[in-house]
Structure 1
Amino acid sequence: MRNNLKKVLGTLLITALAAGVAACGNSKSSNGDKSTIKVGSKDFTENLVVGEIYALALEEAGYNVERIPNIASSVIHTSLINEEIDLYPEYTGTGLLSILQLDLITDPQEVYNTVKTEYEKQFNLVWLDYSAANDGQGLVIRTDVANKLGIKTISDLQANAGKIRFASQGEFDEREDGIPGLEKVYGPFDFKSSKVYANGLKYEVLSNDEADVAPAYTTEGQLVKEEFTLLEDDKQVWPPYNLAPVVQKSVLDENPDIGEILNKISASLDTAKVTELNAAVDVDKREYEEVAKEFYDTIK
């Protein structure tokens, strides 16, 4: 009797332990159909919007989604490696220069091929398709000044630098991808004046006619305004920062349809569209979740 009781208790214990291991070893949702996917995003508008679009698409496909927004750029890669998140929107140039710390490449496909290969080899992470949206370094000029001086490219700016008031953010004057990098390719920029302003004030400074040109990122929402013009990097100094989902390989192995779901999102995004989405939040002051849902409803 005692032996039978021991056997029954032992069987129950083994069953309970097995159930516990199974619960810890997968992330299936309560309905048993789809996994729970943890979607991360960085702590700025564009990444929040795109991360929310990813989340909506996965939910539409039947996945449970746990949103983990506002992760600092400095730690989000580590969060993915540590399996605190399953995927997030990243930029090819960031992967190349900040994470892999490789030499500058300016061809978008070559940058993508490099990060895709190295991420899988080094981190067991997969880059899905990259979008045409490029959130890279740029220079913005007041449109009236550009029209008056005939400035469309950075070469044109360099040739007219003596007539231009430059609004720097300080570090841009020293960074390898700032003025030093530009001068290596375009020649010296002998601006009429150069003053340092906080990055968040640059569009106000330009609008108030306190400066003519400032560093910018190529998808900033304020660029939808006609009073600002983004200059063409005609000699391709800066690397591309194309947007793409980066996903844990194990998650894709278990849920192969995620690749198709998120690649469809990437195919719908270009620089103009992402700039428009950023403007809806940063200029029109709408909630990023609302902006993401409105856009997703147009492409699903």
Structure 2
Amino acid sequence: MSRLRDTMAERATAVEEELQRLLPVEDIPERRLWEAMSYSCLNGGKRLRPFLVTATADLFNVASSASLRVAAAVEMVHSYSLVHDDLPAMDDDDLRRGRPTCHKQFDEATAILAGDGLLTRAFEVLGDPGAHPDPAVRAELVVELAKAAGARGMVGGQMVDLLAERDEGFGRGMDVAAVTRMHQLKTGRLIMFSCCAGAILGKAAPQLRQALTKYAHDLGLAFQIVDDLLDVEGDQAELGKTVGKDAAAGKQTFVTLLGLDRARTHAEMLVEQAVAHLKPFDAEADLLRDVAHFVLARRA
């Protein structure tokens, strides 16, 4: 696991440098917007999604210059979603990764524009030849990320989450299957894109892409279950965000539906399934196996 921590730290630094290059803060009238975009992206975090892009790209010998560019685009989309999620109209959070949220550091209007800027910048980055010399590959990256982030993916999942919080009858009626679907959309689809992006860049065979898709499916659900566990058992200082919000909002989660022990057992089962899907890659996928165990053991 120490090898994983070292590699993740190295990749996080490389992604940070790529983000700094792609989000320059210049002396222009709209400088405040770029400052807010940069603030929201360059604020630490595990960089799990970018790491998954680079780790899967390595399986197919993709140039690091290309995989880091795609990884940065994914982090922009993820950061945009956090900026908007934290707004008073959504989750109304004051703390993100141990710092004031974007709308607290700047203001609500600037935060909305910063999220819009990060989302559109991500697609600009993917459409640039620097992501891949083959325009068909770039087009596929754009389409697949749009699906993962849009109304049939992350944004759709957020809508279901809002309904569950604001419509008491709807929320109470959510069972394990409904909560699973919500999180597959809200969290899982972007994780799935992150795992498949490396295969798209490497023009991988369909069966190998399918293996990574299955791995990502189980990894994403395990990640969310651990998130639910941390919302109950986690330390706010360690997490860098508010804890106990799901319970306060009366949301149905894997913990409320399954209980702590069953939820933890379910996450463990999903991680074992995720690892099993990597069999076609043999030892070359050991980092991805370690990531699955890291997701299960994480405390932040």
Fold match (TM-score > 0.5): no
TM-score w.r.t. length of structure 2: 0.29
Structure with higher strand content: 1
